[in-house]
Amino acid sequence: MQIVGELMTREVVTVKETQNLGKADELLKLHRIRHLPVVRQGKLVGLITHRDLLRAAATHAADPAAQPLWAADIMTRDVTTVTPDTPLRKAVELLLNHKFGCLPVVDADGALLGILTEADLVRYARQLIADLDRKELATEYNA
């Protein structure tokens, strides 16, 4: 049985609650990612998506007197998470059923250990497809 810990991205780009959204946007562009876990002392406290930033920018631009926005202002606070030993099948069902783009991976204390993204699953699918293609070619060769 495959588990989340075998596929998750371990090197996670994060922001703190007190960082401004300009920094968050810069990190998303620099690392070519769409999800930023928000952490406090290594523990997950929220999540910011590229869509959250676009929505905030559109709203914020309409008010020239608006104060700067911080990660804490727009982050989703009640984030669905998984642990490294969560079966991959269950994680995929969560992603599909809730239309999530990622699942932060945490330990029992809420410390961020990694993130499972759609891209991680596509890379895994590519590997499975390549394995199936090799098996098919081997079968044809042996026939």
Fold of the domain spanning 4-142: CBS-domain (3.10.580)
Task: Sketch the domain layout of the chain as residue ranges.
Answer: 4-142
Comparing CA positions, the residue from 142, 143, 135, 103 lying closest to residue 5 is 103
pTM, entire model: 0.87
Residue 82 to residues 46, 77, 92, 115: CA-CA distances in angstroms? 14, 15, 11, 9
pLDDT tier at 140 (50, 70, 90 boundaries)? Answer: low
Q: What is the pLDDT of residues 51-94, one digit of tens each?
A: 999 998 887 766 666 778 899 999 999 999 999 999 999 999 99
